[in-house]
Amino acid sequence: KLCYRHRPDLVRKRLPDSFNIQDVQQQMEKLPMADKEAISHIWSLFSAAPDEQRILILKGILSTCCMPQLSFLFDAIKPLLRIDFISILPREVSLHVFSYLDATSLCNAAQVSQTWRSLADDDALWHRMCEQHIDKKCTKCGWGLPLLDKKKRPNPRKPTTVFRTTPVSVLPLGTACGPTATSNSNTETSTDDALASNPSKRQKTEARVESIETASYPASQPLVPLIRRPWKDVYSERLVVERNWRQNKYQGRVLRGHTDGVMCVQFCDVAGILMTGSYDKTIRVWNMETGELIRVLSGHARCVRALQFDEAKLVTGAMDNTLKIWNWHTGQCIRTLQGHTGGVLSLHFDSRILASGSTDHTIRVWNFEAGECCTLTGHTEWVNSVRIFGDHTLVSGSDDATIRVWDLTSRTCTSVLKGHVGQVQIVLPSPKGFTHRFTPEATEAAAMASSRNISRTAARARPLTGTGVSPPGCATDDSPRLQEQADLTVNSNCSTLSDRPILMSGSLDNTIKIWDMTTGVCLRTLFGHVEGVWGLAYDKLRIVSGSHDKTIRIWDTESGRCMHPLEGHNGPVTAVALSDTKIVSASDDGDIRIWDY
């Protein structure tokens, strides 16, 4: 039975030995004939001996070796004992071994040989790596990668350059900006189920699709197969973006056009559209890629304080006590809603209802399906923020320093959250599917990690002499990064993921608070701004806040640690918006800044 070193099928796969027998034969040629015959006889006896006798012969040789011979044996044997286990194990077992490696180790493994590269670049490994990191934080390493919105899909009515050999399901366009892959797959499933239950309908649909494809795509053109993108490329693209976020590497742009302070901003990365409302009574529509001003919407008599848009419409609220619904594609004002006795400070809508908060201390809920409007009263000061949560809940923040949770079915306030000592400027409930580790245990662990950071900072500030410890200047560049990763890992492992709804609020008391929406308990308070917080946005990885102190701060969502401050505005930052790759901020100086990572 041949061993690892002498199997013909493995000799071609593994690296050649550093011990070259040809050099030995050349040295043999220089010896006298009697010596050559004696050495050859010894080799032949050893080769013909069974395994037990070989071991016995080697023991006898080792007992007679002097130090120079033992040193030679040590240097010569060490590289020969290295085994390329990948060339021996079945591919399935090798892939299972590689599944325990992180992304850096997989990239290093891909540089060993072509065999290792084919395994390290396996699509299943990188798909699992993407599932572990994208749009969430890994519980092992503490890193998370951004989701990255898909680019806007082409118009399905126009012929495309990609041809399909299977029937194409026509998907309805959603009203929200950038429909997700999950919703599309659900639509396809329901469509297929409907066709399966009606065979005649399926035949008509397939015939219609076939006629559309025949009309759209000439038969003379060859079919182009759909190419699936490797998961390693998907991971690498998002890793570059996440590194830019962590290292604060961005490209900044400034959009100018408003003649007064900008109070509200929203953008859609998928469509490349940015909209801003200002004290100059106008709404401006911008092209995010080029910075070009697309359209100016005029109609409000006083400053625009709130706006929200989707693919079809734009709703704005202003200090002239009205809300306006626009077709932002044409600039036409479709409808004006009146009812508030004071200026409109905030608004939020979904597919059914529109909510607005006003300086008249009330919230009005406009139900377009039922064609009615109701008023919610309870706040004693201006209502600065309203957000619809789910189907029957609304949250609001006010200058009376409280946050209220409302039941839209009974039209009553179900809870009042108190904790801020200044006016609450913005309240954001967690979106659907948002998972987090904001628990009392996580809060305590974060506080302990923060105290350790303070202790390390103080220790580095003290002079270290005569203790055998390297001075602060001798620390390697990897030390802070490794410590940061360790802190994130401790925080990630301290509790399990929870999908309990939370609230984040920003106030003029300079703080950001995170609340348990069910119990009303304040889970965490973020300190860092030296003046009031006006703007707030967050996702599973980051929190972004804008303040009256003219700065924007980026926080880690789980640990609550301030990652980077952004400076550049010459006035208070009044609003911020966040996506996977960008921050857009508006300021009282009239500028809109895009921080592109």
84-94 per-position pLDDT tens digit = 788 778 899 99
Residue 234 CA, chain-centre distance (Å), reads 12
- Return the pLDDT at 155: 45
- Return the pLDDT at 179: 32
pLDDT, tens digit, 9 for 90 and up, residues 229-286:
899 999 999 999 999 999 999 999 999 999 999 999 999 998 999 999 999 999 999 9
Domains 85-133 and 249-435+498-596 share a fold: no
As a whole number, the mean pLDDT across the chain is: 80
Q: What is the identity of the amino acid at 373? A: C
For the segment 353-381, the average pLDDT, to the nearest whole number, is 94
Residue the block writes with tokens 């118009």: 155
Q: Which two tokens stand for residue 121?
A: 């670049």
HEC-encoded secondary structure of 285-354: EEECCCCCEEEEEECCCCCEEEEEECCCCEEEEECCCEEEEEECCCCEEEEEEECCCCCEEEEEECCCEE
- Return the pLDDT at 27: 86
Burial class (CB in 10 A: 0-12, 13-18, 19+), 252: exposed
Q: For residues 61 and 85, what is the distance between their CA atoms, to the nearest angstrom?
A: 30
User: What's the full length of the chain, in residues?
Assistant: 597
Helices (H) and strands (E) in the chain, counts: 15, 28
Query: Is 34's pLDDT higher than 70?
Result: yes
pTM over 0.75: no
CATH tag, 249-435+498-596 = 2.130.10.10
pLDDT, tens digit, 9 for 90 and up, residues 193-234:
443 444 444 444 444 434 434 444 444 556 666 678 899 999
At 389, which helix (H) or strand (E)? Answer: strand 383-389
- Return the pLDDT at 2: 64
DSSP calls for 434-459: --B--SHHHHHHHHHHHHHHHHHHHH
Query: Is 46's pLDDT higher than 80?
Result: yes
- Return the pLDDT at 256: 95
- Supply φ then ψ for residue 488, to 5 degrees: -65, -35
2-6, 154-158, 344-348: least confident range:
154-158
For the segment 388-416, the average pLDDT, to the nearest whole number, is 95
CATH class of 85-133: mainly alpha
- Supply φ then ψ for residue 333, to 5 degrees: -85, 115
3-class secondary structure, 509: coil
- Return the pLDDT at 291: 93
* CA distance readout (Å), 12 to 44, 118, 164: 26, 16, 42
Q: For residues 549 and 566, what is the distance between their CA atoms, to the nearest angstrom?
A: 11
- Return the pLDDT at 123: 92
Exposed e or buried b per residue across 241-251, where buried means at least 16 C-beta atoms within 10 angstroms of its C-beta: bbebbbeeebe
Enter the DSSP assignment of 202: H
3-class secondary structure, 405: strand
Query: Could you give the strand order of the β-sheet that contains 293-298, starting from the edge strand earlier in sequence?
Result: 262-268, 273-278, 282-287, 293-298
- Return the pLDDT at 282: 96
For the segment 525-554, the average pLDDT, to the nearest whole number, is 96
118-127, 235-244, 440-449: least confident range:
440-449
Q: What is the identity of the amino acid at 491? A: N
Residue 10 CA, chain-centre distance (Å), reads 43
Query: Is 452's pLDDT higher than 80?
Result: no
Q: 10 Å Cβ neighbour count for 156?
A: 12
pLDDT, tens digit, 9 for 90 and up, residues 290-340:
999 999 999 999 999 999 999 999 999 999 999 999 999 999 999 999 999
In sequence order, which residues have a C-beta less than 8 Å from that of residue 370 and are 6 or more positions away? Answer: none
Burial class (CB in 10 A: 0-12, 13-18, 19+), 176: middle
Enter the DSSP assignment of 498: B
* CA distance readout (Å), 423 to 158, 347, 399, 420, 522: 51, 18, 4, 7, 17
Domain layout of the chain by residue ranges: 13-61+70-81, 85-133, 249-435+498-596
Q: For residues 103 and 479, what is the distance between their CA atoms, to the nearest angstrom?
A: 20
Q: Where are the alpha helices (DSSP H) in 417-439?
A: none
For the segment 128-149, the average pLDDT, to the nearest whole number, is 84
Query: Is 459's pLDDT higher than 70?
Result: no
Contacts 24+ apart (CB under 8 A), 149-157: 149/178, 149/269, 149/270, 149/579, 149/580, 150/178, 150/181, 150/270, 151/270, 152/178, 152/270, 152/271, 152/272
* CA distance readout (Å), 181 to 171, 187, 470: 12, 10, 52
Cα dihedral 211, 212, 218, 222 in deg (nearest 10): -100
Q: Which residue has the higher pLDDT, 43 or 592?
A: 592
At 70, which helix (H) or strand (E)? Answer: helix 67-80
Q: Where are the alpha helices (DSSP H) in 467-593?
A: 478-493
